[in-house]
Amino acid sequence: MKPIEKLMRTAPVIPVLVIDDIAKARPVAEALVKAGYPVLEVTLRTDCALDAIRTMKQVDGAIVGAGTVTNPEELAAAIDAGAEFIVAPGLTDRLGHAAIGANIPFLPGIANAGDIMRGLDLGLTHFKFFPAEASGGIMALKALSGPFGQCLFCPTGGITERSAEEWLALENVLCVGGSWIVPSV
């Protein structure tokens, strides 16, 4: 099993976290791990995101990664901060090659067949379906599963506590990303 698949199978919901206040990073990580959410995606959308990754990694049981990684420079900074996995909103050849070269579990975003084909050309088979609801929702992912049955997904973007169960019922969905779990802190 690929490391990214093992990570995706660790918990059905991966909290997508926007940390604005570094003082809240550790308490949030502790609470999430205790509640059964050990895989934490810290988005690189705030000035303290890299420090939040460093802080959250200190929590026993936390598996902390970086999200919203859009280029090789952010990838390198996230790895330097201790990120254990990388999530991107999309996929470029440059970022894909950098992540593969870094040998880190990588979950690039896709929204259509062309994106998946670009990933397959790079040897990738595990993807973030983003923005899931805006990209056609469950019906779109079901349609993509026909020609891309070898691929597995983590839908993110518009997933709610209520809709998560429907997404998780799909055979090709291993987990979902959820920003509803923790509002921006």
Q: Which residue out of 24, 57, 128, 133 is catalytically annotated?
A: 128
30 by Cβ neighbours in 10 Å (0-12 / 13-18 / 19+) ranks as middle
41 an active-site residue?
A: yes
Structure tokens that stand for 2 in this block: 């690929």
Rounded to an integer, what is the distance from CA 184 to the centroid of its chain?
Answer: 17
Q: Which residue out of 24, 41, 57, 74 is catalytically annotated?
A: 41
Measured CA to CA, the distance from residue 47 to residue 77 in angstroms comes to: 13
Mind giving me the DSSP string for 47-116?
A: TTHHHHHHHHTTSTT-EEEEES--SHHHHHHHHHTT-SSEE-SS--HHHHHHHHHHT--EE-EE-SHHHH
166 an active-site residue?
A: no
Positions annotated as catalytic residues are 41, 128
